[in-house]
A and B are shown apart, each in its own frame.
Chain A
Amino acid sequence: MSQLNLFRTSAFRLTWLYLMLFGTSVLALLGFIYWSTLAVIERQTMETVEAEARGLAEQYRQGGIERLMNAVRQRSETSKDTVFVLADRDLRPITGNLANWPAGAEERGPWLNLQVSRREPHGIVSSQVRARLYILSGGYRLLIGRDTYERARFERIIFNALTWSLAAAALLGVGGGLFLSRRMLRRVDQVSRTARQIVAGDLSLRLVKTGSDDEFDRLADSVNGMLDQIERLMTGMRLATDSMAHDLRSPLTRLRGRIELALRAPPQTASDREALIDVLAQADAALCTFDSLLKIAAAEAGTARSDFAVVDLSAVARDAGELYEPVAEEAAITLSVDVDGPAPLRGQPELLAQAVTNVLDNAVKYTPAGGRIAIRVDSGPNEVALTVTDTGPGIPAAHRSRVLERFVRLEECRSTPGAGLGLCLVAAVAKLHDGTVTLFDSAPGLGVTLTFPAAFEAAAEATPAAPWSPDIAMPRPASVGE
């Protein structure tokens, strides 16, 4: 089912879940690197400043303010990332590489973050420094600081890395998720396609394995194992049905034969003859029920699907109508057949014909003299439908739902053989053809609609000949008939 939204597949969701985890770990890793590197940078900054301070203090101790001034001047010129400023007690700069005494640098001791204006050969540059203030004997103030651009650069690198890796992860996530989902969906599609074909009656099909021994292959293995089992059971059931048909029909054939022979051998009293005829009728009734049951079972098993052909429902309706027209006329019922154009469907012609005649048979049985029976075939683009309405007593509304239920639940027909079987076969045939049976009130009387999926495309490429009806008794001139 490709119409299934790719974003809603479990593969896609899994990919996303994984990416969220991945993203979080990238974030954590980068965070750790950030914090630990930052600490190193910080420590380096402080150590540098302190080393400078120690060196300058040494100069001051050895040569007083003059020597310190010289040293500061010298350091200011040579060191690139370090700022110095030496000022008197009134914070007037004496020497250093700062344009003025930076604001906020009043307190000695703690580390300060200052915005300073540095004197560079090509002008004044503003920069951010981490600095410390030292107060010397004699009230001189020495401020030493180190530019923090390195830290800013590092922060930028980390931020970029974070942005890019998250963007890449998101891209990979959507792409990978779609790719994986596609792949997975393709295999799921394969599985469901095969499953649908199997449901349609071809039990010999199996899921294809890729040979990669992945979870789909394992699933295919399990499903194929299950299908093997189902096929075994179906074959067993078919064999059982077939042999039951054989085993039960043979003795019934004998029974029937015996009765027939007895009837053909002349010396019998009239009452014996009556009795034999009655027994024969009973045997035939039993056989008929048995036959219907086998037909219903066969229709339900779907085995007849293998010889489905394109059938014109209109032709089925016309033939059945024609067959029943004299019977209806004799019962003073008007029977009309209203079909226009072909109504093709894929099906088994004989079973469809039997379903339609069963419905008609019921209609004829329950419609009183002077009534009407109408057969209508409607064909839409997707569906073809055959409707039989009569003017009989119909089915009381309260009762109808129960009858409908019996249509739906075929099991119940089986437990109540007799009159219901005809309609149960109709239901089974409808089900076999993926169709539905609907009962409705045709005021007065009963309406029965059989709806099937249409097969216009198939009809266009297939000839509507019925391959199942070979001329067995007599070659018939081709021109005979309508």
Chain B
Amino acid sequence: MRVLIIEDDTETAAYLKKGLAEAGHVADHAADGPQGLAMANEGVYDALIVDRMLPGLDGLSVIQNLRDARVQTPALILSALGQVSDRVRGLKAGGDDYLVKPFAFSELLARLEALIRRGANTDPVVTRLQVGDLEMDLLARVVTRDGKAIDLQPREFRLLEYLMRHAGHVVTRTMLLESVWDYHFDPQTNVIDVHISRLRAKIDKGFGAPMLHTVRGAGYSLREPA
């Protein structure tokens, strides 16, 4: 994947570049707003990482300009401003996700990859999800594994749905908090871990190979058993 980093802090940019390269992505760097806008306008990138405060043209304006020019490349906004209104403004400007500095690189990577997948996924209406022998019917709201029905609470259903939509990829705790609970902050206790263990007990216990894995230091991943 090709990613454009628009970030004025060279050290952060270098670190992002290095990290992305290690994860197998190609990353370019633009140090200010106008340059970033010009590069992004070429339309060759799969995703953009845009810092909010940039010299020349601020990050939100860059994204706004791109959207006005119908460049729909998914954009992840990086910002030191973490207030709700800041985030809402960022998303209104056309950003697809918002990450508050400082962030864990694993968090950024997971979100970026989710954005790219979302951009590539053009199938508009999904009514069934399947990962290995785990199946979810979104209309009937039924989950089965190996043909056996699994009884899930509404929130567990949403949790599993999110994991299945991102099957094979790392999903972080904050991604789950945001999309399943609408919580844009981290509760002190690691509550998500316990929800995951509950879910794991329901979908993995009694079945051959485990599917729901904890990725140390990063998050969780639902994978088809090898």
Contact = CB atoms under 8 A, between A and B. Distances in A.
A389 interface: no
B45 interface: no
Interface stretch (A165-173, A185-193, A241-249): A241-249
A116 B19 CA distance: 129
A57 interface: no
B118 A319 contact: no
Given A357-B187, A364-B189, A260 B104 contact: yes
Interface string A288-331: 00010011001000011011000000000001001110110010
Contacts of B103: 253, 256
Interface stretch (B32-40, B57-65, B151-159, B206-214): B151-159
Contacts of A422: 188
A203 interface: no
A469 interface: yes
Given A291-B82, A350-B185, A322 B18 contact: no
Contacts of B9: 250, 254
A264 interface: yes
A291 B80 CA distance: 10
Chain A interface helix/strand/loop/mixed: helix
A365 interface: yes
B80 A323 contact: no
A242 B183 contact: no
Interface in B188-213: 188-189, 191, 194-195, 197-198
A287 B102 contact: yes
A364 B191 CA distance: 11
A415 to B, nearest CB: 20
A468 B90 CA distance: 12
Given A250-B101, A253-B102, A361 B189 contact: yes
A476 B126 CA distance: 11
Contacts of A303: 83, 85
A466 interface: yes
Contacts of A323: 181, 183, 187, 191, 195
A295 to B, nearest CB: 8
Contacts of A291: 82
A118 to B, nearest CB: 100
A258 B106 CA distance: 13
Contacts of A474: 114, 118, 162, 165-166, 179
Nearest to B193: A327
Interface in A212-271: 242, 245-246, 249-250, 252-258, 260-261, 263-264
A261 to B, nearest CB: 6
Contacts of B102: 249, 252-253, 255-257, 287
Nearest to B192: A323
B138 A477 contact: yes
B61 to A, nearest CB: 17
A199 interface: no
A298 B191 contact: no
Contact of B194 (A330, A471, A481): A330
B46 interface: no
B7 to A, nearest CB: 10
B113 to A, nearest CB: 11
Nearest to B183: A353
Nearest to A307: B85
A476 B15 contact: no
Given A261-B105, A306-B85, A481-B158, A472 B96 contact: yes
B185 A472 contact: no
A261 B87 CA distance: 27
B139 to A, nearest CB: 8
B105 A257 contact: yes
Interface in B51-94: 53, 80-85, 87-88, 91
Given A264-B22, A307-B88, A364-B189, A253 B181 contact: no
A470 interface: yes
Nearest to B19: A261
Contacts of B157: 480
Question: Which among B12, B161, B189 has the highest number of chain A CB atoms within 10 Å?
Answer: B189
B145 interface: no
A398 interface: no
Contacts of A242: 80-81
Contact of B91 (A246, A354, A472): A472
A348 interface: yes
B184 interface: yes
B11 interface: yes
Contacts of A287: 102
A9 interface: no
Contacts of A121: none
Contacts of A324: 187, 189, 191
Nearest to A258: B15
Contacts of B88: 307, 467-468, 470
Given A257-B15, A306-B85, A480 B158 contact: yes
A291 B145 CA distance: 42
A380 to B, nearest CB: 27
B220 interface: no
A473 B99 CA distance: 12
A291 B82 CA distance: 9
Contacts of B188: 358, 361, 422
13 contacts: A253-B12, A257-B11, A264-B22, A307-B84, A319-B181, A324-B189, A327-B191, A350-B84, A357-B183, A472-B98, A480-B138, A481-B155, A482-B154
Given A249-B102, A250-B101, A350-B184, 7 more contacts: A257-B12, A261-B15, A261-B105, A295-B82, A307-B84, A327-B191, A480-B158
Closest 8 CB pairs of A and B: A253-B102, A257-B15, A246-B80, A326-B194, A249-B80, A469-B182, A473-B179, A249-B101
